[in-house]
Amino acid sequence: MAKAPTVYDVADRAGVSIATVSRVLRMPDAVRPVTRDRVLDAVTALGYVPSGSARGLAERRTGVIGLYFPGFDAAEEAPTLDVLSVGAAHPFTIIHDEAAAEGTTPEEGPGSMLFLDEVLRGAELEAWKQGFVLMVGVGRNDPDRSTVRDMAGRVDGLVVLASSVPDDVLERLAVRIPVVVLSGPPRGDSYDHVTVSNTEAMTELARLVLEQSGGRAPAFLAGPADSPDGAQRWQGFSDAMAEAGIALDDVVVVRGDFTRASGRRAAEELMANGLPLALMSANDQMALGALDAFRAAGVRVPEDLLVTGFDGIDAAALSHPRLTTVRQPMIELGRAAVQVLMNRLEHPDTDPIFVRLPLEITLRESSLRRP
């Protein structure tokens, strides 16, 4: 690796001063064409690439924005891998995956994985459009090394997902650089926020279900007690019941933990105690689990009962019947967060912004009584 050429090298070779080199790169029109060409030739000849560090230091901005994700425990426990010390690896391994019962769709990783991927795509796209590059970090509970702070020193602004960063840390960072909180519940009113309307969308979905079920109360498959998303969705459901004059006491509520298995268990519990006309789940995974259990027991969806989910994961479009759900506008969330951040970079002292993106209620066979 040859030592990277600097402005000085380019200047020498082009027979100009370093100021001129800098100008050619940043305000080409301020330089006489002949000079400019000489410089550009030197640049290509040397393979010069400006140092981001030096530029960042001088400009007092990095041109980088950070996206910080919550991590999953799974990641930390990743098996060690040491590709360099492996000898000639076998070119393939054979896996017999014939065990799974057909029709039972496998549990996916945390539902939020896909969500994060899409958000990242949106964020990268928007960052690029604005001439920035993206740095990504994943939250891990490592006592003595904090990636957020690592990142904070290298970026002009930070998009932080939900509760991936503790309150006190977030507060400290926000002093130095702008922070946008993406998704999840509001975290104080000194940050910009980008979220979706969980509550309102769930209310509307419940209205639609009530229409189909002749106004009879659906059962609710709730998420874990400590999930903010789960709470908002339950709130939306409650609102719709109130609106329809249904007492919450008359509603059957089963609590799950957002996994497919817990959805299956919930469905079995319901079947044992008498089927409701509809089951509204706080997320897709549980709804899909319930769907599996219903099918196994010969309960027909939507004929015998309606089922709805929430999140819009891909698997919801692949189930039988396909699952009615509420899709998160994932790409748009990523893009919106970056837009808000850019805005903040330009107007540091305006009031915090609170952007809500619309959710997409996606009606499919699982919630539509056929005529």
CB neighbour burial string for 50-72, b if at least 16 within 10 angstroms, e if fewer? beeeeebeeeeebebbbbbbbbb
Q: Is 128 in the site for DNA (CB under 7 A)?
A: no
Report how far residue 311's alpha carbon sits from residue 112's, in angstroms, rounded to the nearest whole number: 9
The option from a copy of itself, DNA, none interacting with 120 (CB < 5 to 8 A, set by class) reads a copy of itself
Only segment of 6-14, 186-194, 328-336, 342-350 that touches DNA (CB under 7 A): 6-14
**213 close to 278: Cβ distance less than 8 angstroms:** yes
**205 close to 361: Cβ distance less than 8 angstroms:** yes
| Shortest distance (Å) from residue 200 CB to a copy of itself | 4
Q: Which of residues 10-29 bind DNA (CB under 7 A)?
A: 15-23, 25-26
Q: Which of residues 285-314 bind DNA (CB under 7 A)?
A: none
Only segment of 34-42, 130-138, 236-244, 258-266 that touches DNA (CB under 7 A): 34-42
**187 close to 167: Cβ distance less than 8 angstroms:** yes
Report how far residue 362's alpha carbon sits from residue 310's, in angstroms, rounded to the nearest whole number: 9
Q: Between residues 271 and 345, which has the closer beta carbon with respect to a copy of itself?
A: 345
- Tokens 């997320």 belong to residue: 283
Q: Which of residues 48-87 bind DNA (CB under 7 A)?
A: 48, 50-51, 53-55, 57-60
Report how far residue 209's alpha carbon sits from residue 302's, in angstroms, rounded to the nearest whole number: 11
Q: Is 32 in the site for DNA (CB under 7 A)?
A: yes
The option from a copy of itself, DNA, none interacting with 6 (CB < 5 to 8 A, set by class) reads DNA
**267 close to 293: Cβ distance less than 8 angstroms:** yes
CB neighbour burial string for 179-198, b if at least 16 within 10 angstroms, e if fewer? bbbbbbeebeeebbbbbbbb
Q: Is 35 in the site for DNA (CB under 7 A)?
A: yes
**180 close to 354: Cβ distance less than 8 angstroms:** no
Q: Between residues 36 and 233, which has the closer beta carbon with respect to DNA?
A: 36
The option from DNA, a copy of itself, none interacting with 298 (CB < 5 to 8 A, set by class) reads none
**171 close to 206: Cβ distance less than 8 angstroms:** no
Size of site (CB under 7 A) for DNA: 32
Residues in contact with 110: Cβ distance below 8 Å, sequence separation at least 6, in sequence order? 72, 74
The option from DNA, a copy of itself, none interacting with 35 (CB < 5 to 8 A, set by class) reads DNA
Q: Is 41 in the site for DNA (CB under 7 A)?
A: no
| Shortest distance (Å) from residue 145 CB to DNA | 15
Contacting residues toward DNA, per CB under 7 A: 3-4, 6-8, 15-23, 25-26, 30-32, 34-36, 48, 50-51, 53-55, 57-60
